[in-house]
């Protein structure tokens, strides 16, 4: 009888622990990293429409200014690793042999063909098993064009998919006499993205700029501080004074692998204590590094480490994984 009672108490405690663990898990968001970029050339409107159809929560826009101050959706300040600029405008490169978005007007940029990412020195495609280089007909586009696509699709489908714009290299823009942030904030405001309730998350690697956006420019948007280097994570408390979340490289969450299981740094725990959401980048099924499968990566970071969302080139796979566990934020 005594042993039965003991057994019952143990069972109850185990159940409680499991329930607590489940309750602790937050519902997660899927962010289409540069669109459904594993399947179509990154940051094309086609890749964004495909991501939309995959029922992600947010679609990402990296932003750089054109010569005539149009915010262009492109990952880098350079054009030569995703377009045919080198053959269309061979004389427009700078001394460093690179072609810069900021040296071209919107109309000129529109004449370029966009392709799958490649190394401009060797011509080699970055992810060889993705969409074939130079196939198809893709163009660059502005932030306004992309917002109109997403808002239009939201209207026609009844979905509420958000945008996740990134201010790219604000210091470079300032040196060139441009203010990317003010242009982007104006466009967001014009299209109704004003507060944390407006389905827009604004991100930046430059901590001074993101803090300025909150403190000086008084933005009420949901702000995410991107983290590139491990040491920056030491400033978490300061980030929490102006940001609502962090976007670390996923490796900053992993500590080591012991007997087939990953252990974690304190980053997620400390961020959650400061009420910061954690959206690590980048989940790629074709670049697994320390993981033996994509499923292991998803299980490890989304479930075991309990992050709040994932930037992914494979939105369909992450949506499917989270839906199966009833962990996808609706
Ligand atoms: O912005 C999150 C993630 O996209 C950061 O990496 O270099 O792809 O912009 P990157
Ligand atoms: Ca980005």
Q: Can you tell me whether residue 307 is helix, strand or coil?
A: coil
Q: Which atom belonging to ligand 1 lies closest to the Cα atom of 62?
A: 9
- CA 164 to CA 59: how far, in whole Å? 6
pLDDT at 277: 98
Question: With 90 as the cut, is the pLDDT of residue 236 above it?
Answer: yes
Q: Is residue 320 part of a domain?
A: yes
Say if 118 falls within a structural domain. no
Above pLDDT 90, what percent of the chain? 92
**For the residues 273-299, what does the mean pLDDT come to?**
98
Ligand nearest to the CA of 226: 1
Asked if 272 is an active-site residue, the reply is: no
Q: Does the pLDDT of residue 213 top 60, yes or no? A: yes
Atom 5, ligand 1: which residue's CA is nearest?
A: 281
Distance separating alpha carbons of residues 241 and 276, to the nearest angstrom: 10
In the chain, the percentage of residues whose pLDDT exceeds 70 is 93
What per-residue confidence (pLDDT) applies to 5?
52
pLDDT in the model for residue 21? 44
Does 278 map to a domain?
yes
CA 20/CA 146 separation, integer angstroms:
41
Catalytic site residue from 43, 75, 141, 279: 75
Kindly tell me if the per-residue pLDDT of 20 is higher than 50.
no
pTM of the model: 0.93
| pLDDT for residue 7 is more than 70 | no
Is residue 178, in this structure, part of any structural domain at all? Answer: yes
pLDDT, average across residues 3-16: 50
Residue 109 belongs to some domain of the structure:
no
In this structure, the residues whose C-beta lies within 6 A of any atom of ligand 1 are 33, 62, 75, 166, 203, 226, 247, 281-282, 311
The pLDDT of residue 25: 80
Q: CB of 310 within 8 A of CB of 253? A: no
Q: Establish if 155 belongs to a structural domain.
A: yes
* Residue 5 resides in a domain: no
Let me know: does 8 contact 16? Beta carbons within 8 Å. no
Q: What is the CATH number of the domain that holds 261?
A: 3.20.20.190
- Residues spanned by the domain of 163: 33-77+141-329
In a domain, 84, yes or no: no
* DSSP label at residue 125: B
Residue-level pLDDT at 145: 99
Based on the structure, what is the number of domains in the chain?
1
Mean per-residue pLDDT over the chain, rounded: 94
For a ligand 1 pocket test, name from 226, 227, 248, 287 the mutation site with the most ligand atoms within 8 angstroms of its C-beta: 226
d(CA 108, CA 89): 10
């Amino acid at each position: 009888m005594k042993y039965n009672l003991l057994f019952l108490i143990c069972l109850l405690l185990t159940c409680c622990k499991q329930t607590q663990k489940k309750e602790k898990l937050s519902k997660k968001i899927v962010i289409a990293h540069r669109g459904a970029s594993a399947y179509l050339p990154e940051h094309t409107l086609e890749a964004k429409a495909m991501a939309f159809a995959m029922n992600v929560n947010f679609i990402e826009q990296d932003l750089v200014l054109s010569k005539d101050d149009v915010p262009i959706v492109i990952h880098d300040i350079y054009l030569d690793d995703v377009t045919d600029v080198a053959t269309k405008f061979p004389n427009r490169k700078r001394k460093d042999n690179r072609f810069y978005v900021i040296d071209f007007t919107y109309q000129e940029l529109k004449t370029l063909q966009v392709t799958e990412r490649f190394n401009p020195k060797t011509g080699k495609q970055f992810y060889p098993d993705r969409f074939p280089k130079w196939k198809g007909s893709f163009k660059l586009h502005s932030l306004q064009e992309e917002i109109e696509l997403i808002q239009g699709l939201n209207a026609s489908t009844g979905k509420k998919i958000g945008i996740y714009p990134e201010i790219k290299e604000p210091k470079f823009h300032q040196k060139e006499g441009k203010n990317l942030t003010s242009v982007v904030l104006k466009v967001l405001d014009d299209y109704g993205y004003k507060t944390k309730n407006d389905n827009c998350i604004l991100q930046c690697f430059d901590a001074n700029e993101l803090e300025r956006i909150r403190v000086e420019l008084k933005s009420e948007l949901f702000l995410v501080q991107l983290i590139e280097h491990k040491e920056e994570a030491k400033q978490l408390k300061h980030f929490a004074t102006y940001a609502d979340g962090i976007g670390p490289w996923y490796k900053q969450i992993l500590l080591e692998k012991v007997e087939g299981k990953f252990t974690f740094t304190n980053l997620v725990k400390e961020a959650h204590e400061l009420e910061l959401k954690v959206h690590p980048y980048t989940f790629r099924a074709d670049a697994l590094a320390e993981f033996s499968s994509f499923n292991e990566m998803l299980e490890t970071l989304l479930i075991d480490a309990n992050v709040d969302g994932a930037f992914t080139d494979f939105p369909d796979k992450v949506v499917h994984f989270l839906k199966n566990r009833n962990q996808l934020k609706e």
